[in-house]
């Protein structure tokens, strides 16, 4: 049994991680059995779940979307927000009876939440029916843990990050659009954020290994890749190999995959060279997610964000100048401790100046173990909610305004799947990451098609396919 320790997780050493081949254990022990996997949280977790599915498939388990059919249940959890935490424990409460009805059912809880000592202890004390608890650093060992499962609860959560694994057998959700990890962990330590503790220190993958993975994805017919990292702009800083994110982006662009995206960017690490590379290669999509978090320099300092309001605005303007037509979205937290009405107005000022294409907005809630959790959460909930409402009204207005600029234009859309908006519709994304519902047959899924935009809404566009050789 291994319980995590937050103090240990804070430590950063200069030791380079070992690069190893993934275990990719194969066994027929679970032949004919099914797994149910539920994922909470960000794109990183979604991609980790593709690794988990690969591990389970290698043990001969097949996926079911019906919980009652499952022989193995895996929850891949998120520690960023309180409600994700509540949802996981709510879910565990609801499946307890399944374990009574089916004693051989194996329940696994993994990912970011168990990296918190209090969660691992709670699972140990109050949820003994959970068979396996694993963290973010040993996903690769899940196969081994399943093969050795017995009636005793097995908690294996490491505080310190482990090796960097290559040649992972992912079971990808899409045949057209793929996530590619370029780095793990984060060294930024924004004061409100739990990620540097749950995912460990920054470890970049070697460029050669990333390029090999993307070349193979291109050969497999993938049309789009998204480079993934908590702070992609810091890529390479931990490697001393003499290359950075701008160099990586350029080499990835040369592979010739039609669409390249990346998330998430930290404004502090964004260099002019990165902007020039994005502007130079048409297959790097003109879309940047650039978290603001707050428009008040005072609050940004309390958040440990390492930039001022003015520096953020300057970067925003340079992006718009260097990459014409680039769409920019953001993240904003309202109600951080000590945020006055004046501070909130600074945020509104940046929002009005930038006119973002969209934003993920959140009410601040403390994460146990972070430095910000030690500051008194002194903003009443009703004020936080009022600020969020004011902010969202402006964000939605701006989003609609941007979307209306697309009316009657013809844009390229990568169709990713059936639309929820009608049986004769599919959906996909423009180069600028606008969601479009398109009247078209399912046979267009996986294709990049020309679409004429017929209607603009706050959060999506409607359109129809046009057969048109050259579009401007």
Question: Which of 409, 469, 420, 414 shows the shortest CA–CA distance to 445?
Answer: 414
SS3 106: strand
Report in angstroms how near the CB of residue 154 gets to ligand SF4 at its nearest. Answer: 29
Q: For residues 231 and 419, which CB has a smaller minimum distance to ligand SF4 in the complex?
A: 231
* Residue 196 in the binding site for ligand SF4 (CB under 6 A): yes
Q: Which of 42, 73, 180, 190 binds ligand SF4 (CB under 6 A)?
A: 190
Per the CB < 8 A criterion, the answer to whether 203 and 19 are in contact is no
| Alpha helix stretches (DSSP H) within 281-308 | 297-303
Q: Which stretch binds ligand SF4 (CB under 6 A): 90-98, 136-144, 189-197, 399-407?
A: 189-197
Q: Smallest distance, Å, CB 231 to ligand SF4?
A: 5
Least distance (Å) between residue 367 CB and ligand SF4: 10
Of 70, 193, 257, 319, the one binding ligand SF4 by CB under 6 A: 193
Nearer to ligand SF4, 230 or 329 (CB): 230
What's the token pair of residue 223? 């049309």
Residue 266 in contact with ligand SF4, rule: CB under 6 A:
yes
230 is a site residue for ligand SF4 (CB under 6 A): yes
Cβ proximity to ligand SF4: between 35 and 312 the closer is 312
What radius of gyration, in Å, describes the C-alpha atoms of the chain?
Answer: 23
Q: Are 4 and 156 in contact (CB under 8 A)?
A: no
Site size for ligand SF4, by CB under 6 A? 10
Q: Whole-number minimum distance, CB 196 to ligand SF4, in Å?
A: 5
CB atoms within 10 A of CB 93: 11
- 335 phi/psi in degrees, rounded to 5: 80, 25
Contacts of residue 423, defined as CB under 8 A and 6 or more positions apart, other chains included, come to none
Residue number, 227 or 451, with CB nearest to ligand SF4: 227
- DSSP, collapsed to helix, strand or coil, labels residue 362 as strand
**How far apart, in whole angstroms, are the C-alpha atoms of residue 448 and residue 426?**
12
Between residues 193 and 465, which has the closer beta carbon with respect to ligand SF4?
Answer: 193
Residue with tokens 């013809």: 410
Backbone angles phi, psi at 384, to 5 degrees: -60, -45
- Please identify, using beta-carbon distances, which residue of 266 and 384 lies nearer to ligand SF4: 266
Cis status of the peptide bond prior to 139, with omega within 30 of 0? no
Q: Does 106 bind ligand SF4 (CB under 6 A)?
A: no
b/e burial code for range 358-390 (CB count within 10 A of at least 16 → b): bbebbbbbbbebbebeeeebebeeeebeebbee
Shortest separation between residue 404's beta carbon and ligand SF4, angstroms = 32
Q: How far is the CB of 190 from ligand SF4 (least distance, A)?
A: 3
Maximum distance among all alpha carbons in the chain? 64
Q: Rank residues 264 and 430 by Cβ distance to ligand SF4 and give the closer one.
A: 264
Taking a C-beta distance cutoff of 8 angstroms, is the pair 195, 370 a contact? no
Q: Least CB distance from residue 437 to ligand SF4, whole Å?
A: 31
Nearer to ligand SF4, 194 or 285 (CB): 194
- The least distance separating ligand SF4 from the CB of residue 43, rounded to whole angstroms, comes to 12
CB of 37 to ligand SF4, least distance (A): 24
Classify residue 206 by its DSSP letter.
Answer: P
- Within 13 A of 310's CA, how many CA atoms are on the CB side? 0
Minimum distance from CB of 261 to ligand SF4 (Å)?
17
Distance CA 389, CA 383 (A): 10
Phi, psi of 124 (to 5 degrees): -70, -45
Q: Per CB under 6 A, which of residues 167..186 are in contact with ligand SF4?
A: 186
Binding to ligand SF4 by residue 195, rule CB under 6 A? yes
DSSP 3-state of 255: helix
Q: Closer CB to ligand SF4, residue 89 or residue 189?
A: 189
Round to whole Å and give the CA distance between 135 and 159. 9
DSSP for 417-446, written as a single string: EE-TT-TTEEEEEETT--EEEEE--GGGTT
**Choices 101-109, 190-198, 239-247, 317-325 (CB under 6 A): range interacting with ligand SF4:** 190-198
Candidates 377, 434, 431; CA nearest to 400 is: 434
Residues 337-366 that bind ligand SF4 (CB under 6 A): none
Identify which of residues 34 and 188 has a Cβ nearer to ligand SF4 in the complex: 188
* Least separation in angstroms between CB 234 and ligand SF4: 8
User: Based on CB atoms, which residue is closest to ligand SF4, 129 or 362?
Assistant: 362
Of 171, 172, 188, 237, the one binding ligand SF4 by CB under 6 A? 188
Q: How far is the CB of 269 from ligand SF4 (least distance, A)?
A: 9
From the list 65-73, 102-110, 193-201, 396-404, the region that binds ligand SF4 by CB under 6 A is 193-201
Give yes or no for residue 231 binding ligand SF4 (CB under 6 A): yes
- Whichever of 138 and 230 has its CB closer to ligand SF4, that residue is 230
Contact call for residue 189 and ligand SF4 (CB under 6 A): yes
Q: Does residue 357 contact residue 399 with C-beta atoms inside 8 Å?
A: yes
> Can you give the binding site for ligand SF4, defined by CB under 6 A?
186, 188-190, 193, 195-196, 230-231, 266
């Amino acid at each position: 049994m291994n319980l995590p320790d937050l103090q240990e997780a804070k430590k950063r050493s200069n030791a380079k991680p070992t690069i190893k081949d993934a275990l990719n254990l194969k066994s027929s022990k679970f032949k004919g059995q099914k797994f149910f996997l539920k994922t909470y949280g960000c794109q990183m977790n979604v991609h980790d779940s593709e690794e988990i599915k690969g591990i389970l498939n290698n043990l001969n388990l097949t996926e079911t979307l019906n919980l009652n059919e499952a022989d193995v249940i895996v929850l891949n959890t998120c520690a960023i927000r309180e409600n994700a935490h509540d949802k996981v424990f709510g879910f565990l409460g609801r499946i307890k009876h399944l374990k009574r009805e089916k004693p051989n059912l194996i329940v696994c809880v993994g990912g970011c939440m168990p990296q918190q000592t209090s969660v691992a202890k709670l699972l140990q004390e109050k949820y003994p029916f959970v068979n396996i608890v694993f963290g973010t650093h040993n996903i690769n060992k899940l196969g081994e843990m399943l093969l050795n499962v017995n009636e005793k609860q097995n908690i294996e959560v490491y505080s310190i990050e482990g090796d960097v694994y290559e040649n992972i057998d992912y079971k990808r959700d899409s045949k057209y659009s793929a996530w590619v990890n370029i780095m793990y962990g984060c060294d930024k330590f924004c004061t409100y954020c739990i990620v540097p503790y749950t995912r460990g220190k920054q470890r970049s993958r070697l460029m050669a290994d990333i390029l090999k993975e993307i070349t193979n994805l291109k050969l497999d017919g993938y049309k789009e890749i998204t480079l993934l990292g908590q702070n992609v702009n810091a890529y390479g800083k931990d490697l001393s190999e003499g290359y950075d994110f701008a160099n990586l982006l350029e080499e990835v662009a040369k592979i010739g995959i039609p669409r390249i995206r990346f998330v998430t960017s930290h404004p502090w690490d964004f260099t002019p060279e990165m902007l020039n590379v994005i502007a130079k290669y048409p297959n790097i999509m003109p879309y940047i997610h650039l978290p603001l978090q707050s428009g008040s320099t005072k609050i940004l300092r309390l958040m440990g964000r390492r930039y001022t309001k003015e520096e953020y605005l300057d970067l925003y303007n340079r992006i718009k100048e260097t990459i014409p037509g680039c769409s920019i979205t953001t993240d904003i937290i309202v109600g951080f401790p000590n945020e006055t009405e004046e501070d909130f107005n600074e945020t509104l000022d940046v929002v009005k100046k930038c006119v973002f294409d969209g934003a993920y907005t959140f009410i601040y809630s403390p994460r146990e173990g972070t430095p910000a959790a030690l500051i008194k959460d002194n903003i009443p909930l009703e004020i936080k909610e009022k600020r969020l409402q004011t902010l969202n009204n402006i964000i939605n207005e701006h989003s609609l305004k941007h979307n209306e600029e697309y009316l009657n234009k013809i844009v390229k859309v990568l169709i990713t799947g059936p639309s929820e908006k009608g049986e004769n519709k599919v959906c996909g994304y423009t180069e600028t990451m606008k969601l479009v519902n398109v009247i078209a047959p399912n046979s267009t899924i996986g294709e990049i098609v020309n679409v004429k935009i017929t209607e603009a809404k706050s959060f999506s566009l409607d359109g129809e396919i046009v057969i048109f050789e050259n579009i401007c």
